[in-house]
Amino acid sequence: MEKVILDLSMSLDGYIAGPDVTPRQPMGIGGKRLHEWIFSGKTDIDGRILEEVVSSSGAVIVGGRTYAIAIDDAWGGASPFSMPAFVVTNQNPVKAINGFAYVPEGISVALEKAREAAKGKNVWLMGGAGIAQSYLKAGLVDEIHIHIIPVLLCCGTLLFEQIGTSPIELERIKIIESAGATHVWFKVVK
């Protein structure tokens, strides 16, 4: 059975974006550093990890703010994904734009549509923080894959800021180190 996997890069102090996120700086001040392991600093290990995420996923879910700033504004709305992509948003429904389908009905409906589109493969939650927090709080995440970057951003967007007050138990699945990141996989214990 497919899994719902939250997969994000994060600074050691828990930030997934720096401060002052804008269309010109979709990762905020200093936030580009979080993705160097994917681009300029990518090693063979990092490439295999990224390929595993992409090849095992059949659909991706992003939040409305992430879509608006990081994809629509910064990438001109073109989908960087090779799979169906769903945007959880409160905007009026639009059938599909540039490979993205808007889902204004909320996280459960978005997950239902993504699972159907994934055809037995995993559903990849790629951010941002708000959508990740919503799925975690609702108990809908099966695994968390965090790519910890050796930097302290000191401010910005925290990943685990608003996920409730009850502990969420995790079981570590594996850890792989590369020059630019420590990749840690956790299973959410339900």
> What does the pLDDT read at residue 67?
78
- 95 has a pLDDT exceeding 60: no
3-state SS assignment for residue 164: coil
> What does the pLDDT read at residue 190?
94
Structure tokens at 123: 């559903």
Model confidence at 50, pLDDT cuts 50, 70, 90, reads very high
* Domains of the chain, first to last: 4-188 (3.40.430.10)
> What does the pLDDT read at residue 74?
54
pLDDT digits (tens, 9 = 90+) for 54-71: 999 999 999 988 877 766
- 89 has a pLDDT exceeding 60: yes
3-state SS assignment for residue 40: coil
Provide, rounded to the nearest whole percent, the portion of the chain with pLDDT above 70. 91
Q: Is the pTM of the predicted complex or chain greater than 0.85?
A: yes
> What does the pLDDT read at residue 144?
98
